[in-house]
């Protein structure tokens, strides 16, 4: 049976329409992926706080590569997979096409693959990098099969729906290229430059998986949480297609170090980003609720951070390779993208997803029987606000420190980012605590039927 | 001695009970959200016609089961049938005044 498929005998509920999608594996699997991502987030932020000078090192430094992999497949990918497994059936209107055992196998492969991947990068042991990458690649295949099966079973075929199989396909390609890179470092067999292939690998992951997914899910999540409507649907399509075409040209251009496809690909990618951005702003303007909560503010700020990141990326594509600021600018580009655009969008999304999943598990079975708190009441507004402000401050400091080659600003930025992570995790742990000890609103211990309406 | 069943609740009493069945995202009862289209009571039989804010509402199951549980908990109710409909589609215009004020909506 597909995970999330409705068990028979649901009672007297009408059968003519699906009343929403049930929780995937009782929400435990998405929460497990998210918890793994948050653990990697904590480790990555602590590492930056303890060794902030690392961000001033060239991006090819082994420990920089280790930190990037702790942050990208460790934190951002884990959290995104957890959210994807829950959100995709909702967005596509079809149960997740995978057995629970297969999804848990994916989690196990991901969990077991990350430590060798990160630790071996730090020590330059590429056979162990290949082993960790191989485990992640096997997990990515499970995800790809689940996504393709669910997409085939669903009828929705707009840009938001297409973003799922496209992102899963790019992810599979990303891990395959990463695996080739690691094997080639240990047993050289490719005629391509490892540095060029590494850049293609990084763009496949960032633009192929994360950006593609965001270009689709943003048009599901933002209207859902603000009760707005998707506007400029042709531009939504154009944005997604621009990114796909751009990456299909950019990645080979980077791998084979060809200037013309690099520039053309970067241009198409930037155009795709602009299209999605314009459509997202138009969609946001249809919202009924004027004030945005912190989760949505962070999500939109992260989406906006793609603009300076793309500008820096454009400069990198045009500047001569021996430009004295090249290495620093590459690092600043990475910071704008990883703790900037990607982390803010993913963390913003988690501000909504974690309370919702925890609420569904802790309070869902009590709805209609006992008064329950709203999902939004599980979080601390003060901690959320403090996290967001601190994360932005840390991001600005560390990126400026890197771009201006200021060790002091980079150190300060690393510490501030670590404080921000602590604030986010404190809030998330407070939400997770409801799973162990649900808290009913004060004075509402009685069943609803015994209370006066 | 013959046991007498309690009188069934009125549609108004049922709607009041549905105010306490909350949507997780908005923290508002399904009645104030405008999700309940019709409530009919015949003897102990309760029929509810309702919708969800979207066809793929992730909390759909919980909300429907909550409405069913809230109705079943009232004295005099022997059976509850819920008909989920998508036409007319829910729009934010169906929110009650109290719900709009609570959400700070324009």
ipTM: 0.86
Per-residue model confidence (pLDDT) at position B4: 72
Measured CA to CA, the distance from residue B71 to residue B9 in angstroms comes to: 9
- Which of the four pLDDT bands, split at 50, 70 and 90, describes residue A447? low
The answer on pLDDT for A412 being more than 60 is: yes
Q: Do B106 and A288 touch (CB under 8 A)?
A: yes
Among A347, A344, A148, A162, which Cα is nearest to A243's? A162
Average pLDDT on A369-385 reads: 92
Per-residue model confidence (pLDDT) at position A244: 98
According to DSSP, residue A319 is labeled S
Instruction: Tell which of B37, B64, B105 to mutate to test the A interface (max A CBs under 10 Å).
Output: B64
| CA dihedral angle for residue A163, residue A313, residue A203, residue A188, rounded to 10 degrees | 170
CB contact at 8 A, A303 and A336: no
The answer on pLDDT for A52 being more than 50 is: yes
Per-residue model confidence (pLDDT) at position A24: 62
Measured CA to CA, the distance from residue A352 to residue A357 in angstroms comes to: 9
Average pLDDT on A102-112 reads: 97
Q: Enumerate the residues of chain B whose CB falls inside 8 A of the CB of residue A11.
A: 65, 68
Q: Enumerate the residues of chain A whose CB falls inside 8 A of the CB of residue B10.
A: none
Q: Do B54 and A14 touch (CB under 8 A)?
A: no
Q: Enumerate the residues of chain A whose CB falls inside 8 A of the CB of residue B59.
A: 20, 356, 360, 364
Per-residue model confidence (pLDDT) at position B27: 83
B59, B64, B104: residue with CB nearest A13: B64
pLDDT tens by residue, A148-183: 999 999 999 999 999 999 999 999 999 999 999 999
Among A71, A63, A69, A136, which Cα is nearest to A346's? A71
CB contact at 8 A, A116 and A132: yes
pLDDT tens by residue, A292-315: 999 999 999 999 999 999 999 999
Q: Do B60 and A374 touch (CB under 8 A)?
A: no
Which position has the higher pLDDT, A7 or A47? A47
Average pLDDT on A11-28 reads: 50
The answer on pLDDT for A20 being more than 80 is: no
Per-residue model confidence (pLDDT) at position A214: 97
Measured CA to CA, the distance from residue A401 to residue A44 in angstroms comes to: 18
- From A440's Cα to the closest Cα of chain B, the distance in A is 13
- From A152's Cα to the closest Cα of chain B, the distance in A is 17
The proportion of chain A whose per-residue pLDDT surpasses 90, expressed as a percent, equals: 72
CB contact at 8 A, A201 and A174: yes
Q: Do A20 and B61 touch (CB under 8 A)?
A: yes
pLDDT tens by residue, A215-237: 999 998 898 888 888 999 999 99
The proportion of chain B whose per-residue pLDDT surpasses 90, expressed as a percent, equals: 57
Q: Are strands B45-50 and B79-84 parallel, antiparallel or unpaired?
A: parallel
The answer on pLDDT for B2 being more than 60 is: no
Measured CA to CA, the distance from residue A1 to residue A99 in angstroms comes to: 7
- Which of the four pLDDT bands, split at 50, 70 and 90, describes residue A46? very high
- Which of the four pLDDT bands, split at 50, 70 and 90, describes residue A93? confident
Instruction: Tell which of A10, A20, A150 to mutate to test the B interface (max B CBs under 10 Å).
Output: A20
pLDDT tens by residue, A120-136: 999 989 899 999 999 99
Residues in chain B: 106
Count of CB pairs separated by less than 8 Å, A with B:
135
Which position has the higher pLDDT, A315 or A27? A315
End-to-end CA distance of chain B, in Å? 59
B56, B66, B104: residue with CB nearest A368: B66
Q: Do B62 and A453 touch (CB under 8 A)?
A: no
Q: Do A21 and B53 touch (CB under 8 A)?
A: no
- Which of the four pLDDT bands, split at 50, 70 and 90, describes residue B59? confident
A12, A17, A360: residue with CB nearest B62: A360
Per-residue model confidence (pLDDT) at position B57: 78
User: How far lies A265's CA from each of A148, A212, A272, B43, in Å?
Assistant: 26, 15, 10, 69
Per-residue model confidence (pLDDT) at position A368: 87
The answer on pLDDT for A394 being more than 60 is: yes
Element (H, E) at B41: strand B36-42
Does B51 sit behind a cis peptide bond, omega within 30 degrees of 0 on the bond before it? no
A87, A227, A290: residue with CB nearest B104: A290
Q: Do A16 and B64 touch (CB under 8 A)?
A: no
Measured CA to CA, the distance from residue A175 to residue A198 in angstroms comes to: 11
Tell me the whole-structure pTM to 2 decimals.
Answer: 0.90
Residue of chain B nearest A16, judged by CA positions: B84
User: How far lies A323's CA from each of A199, A318, A319, A330, A402, in Å?
Assistant: 17, 11, 7, 11, 16
Mean pLDDT for chain A overall: 90
Q: Enumerate the residues of chain B whose CB falls inside 8 A of the CB of residue A453.
A: 13, 16-17, 19-20
- Which of the four pLDDT bands, split at 50, 70 and 90, describes residue A400? very high
Q: Do A290 and B105 touch (CB under 8 A)?
A: yes
Among A224, A392, A380, A213, which Cα is nearest to A297's? A392
- From A29's Cα to the closest Cα of chain B, the distance in A is 16
């Amino acid at each position: 049976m597909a995970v999330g498929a409705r068990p028979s005998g649901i009672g007297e509920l009408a059968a003519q329409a699906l009343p929403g999608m049930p929780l995937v594996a009782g929400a435990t699997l998405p929460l497990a992926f998210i918890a793994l991502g948050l653990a990697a987030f904590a480790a990555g932020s602590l590492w930056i706080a303890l060794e902030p000078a690392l961000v001033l090192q060239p991006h090819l430094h082994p420990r920089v590569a280790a930190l990037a992999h702790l942050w990208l497949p460790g934190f951002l990918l884990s959290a995104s997979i957890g959210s994807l497994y829950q959100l995709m059936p909702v967005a596509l209107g079809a149960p997740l096409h995978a057995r629970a055992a297969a999804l848990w196998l994916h989690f196990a492969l991901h969990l077991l693959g990350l430590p060798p991947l990160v630790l071996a990068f730090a020590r330059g042991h590429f056979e162990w990098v290949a082993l960790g990458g191989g485990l992640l690649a096997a997990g990515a295949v499970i995800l790809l099969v689940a996504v393709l099966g669910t997409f085939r079973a669903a009828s929705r075929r707009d840009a938001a729906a297409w973003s799922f199989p496209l992102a899963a396909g790019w992810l599979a390609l990303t891990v395959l290229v990463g695996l080739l890179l690691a094997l080639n470092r240990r047993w050289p067999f490719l005629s391509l430059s490892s540095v060029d292939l590494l850049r293609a690998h990084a763009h496949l992951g960032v633009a192929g998986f994360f950006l593609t997914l965001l270009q689709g899910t943003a048009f599901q999540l933002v209207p859902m949480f603000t009760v707005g409507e998707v506007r400029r649907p042709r531009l939504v399509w154009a944005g997604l297609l621009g990114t796909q075409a751009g990456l299909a040209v950019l990645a080979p251009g980077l791998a084979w170090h060809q200037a013309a496809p690099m520039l053309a690909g970067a241009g198409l990618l930037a155009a795709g980003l602009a299209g999605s951005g314009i459509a997202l702003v138009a969609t946001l303007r249809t919202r009924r609720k004027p004030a945005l909560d912190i989760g949505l503010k962070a999500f939109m700020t992260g989406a906006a951070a793609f603009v300076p990141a793309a500008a820096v990326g454009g400069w990198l594509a045009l500047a001569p390779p021996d430009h004295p600021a090249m290495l620093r600018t590459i690092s600043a580009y990475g910071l704008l993208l990883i703790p900037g655009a990607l982390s803010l969008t993913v963390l913003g999304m988690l501000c909504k997803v974690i309370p919702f999943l925890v609420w569904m598990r802790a309070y869902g079975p009590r709805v209609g029987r006992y008064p329950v708190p709203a999902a939004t009441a599980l979080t601390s507004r003060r901690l959320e606000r403090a996290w967001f402000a601190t994360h932005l401050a840390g991001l600005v400091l560390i990126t400026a420190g890197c771009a201006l080659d200021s060790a002091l600003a980079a150190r300060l930025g690393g510490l501030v980012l670590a404080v921000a992570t602590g604030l986010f995790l404190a809030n998330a742990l407070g939400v997770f605590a409801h799973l162990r000890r649900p808290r009913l609103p004060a004075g509402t211990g009685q069943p609803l039927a015994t209370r006066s309406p | 001695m013959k046991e007498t069943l309690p009188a069934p609740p009125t549609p108004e009493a049922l709607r009041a009970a549905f105010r306490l069945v909350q949507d997780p995202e908005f923290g508002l009862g399904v009645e104030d959200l405008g999700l309940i289209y019709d409530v009919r009571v015949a003897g102990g039989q309760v029929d509810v016609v309702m919708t969800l804010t979207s066809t793929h509402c992730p909390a759909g199951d919980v909300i429907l089961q909550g409405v069913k549980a809230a109705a079943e908990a009232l004295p005099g109710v022997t059976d509850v049938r819920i008909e989920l409909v998508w036409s007319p589609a829910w729009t934010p215009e169906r929110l009650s005044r109290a719900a709009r004020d609570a959400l700070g909506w324009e």
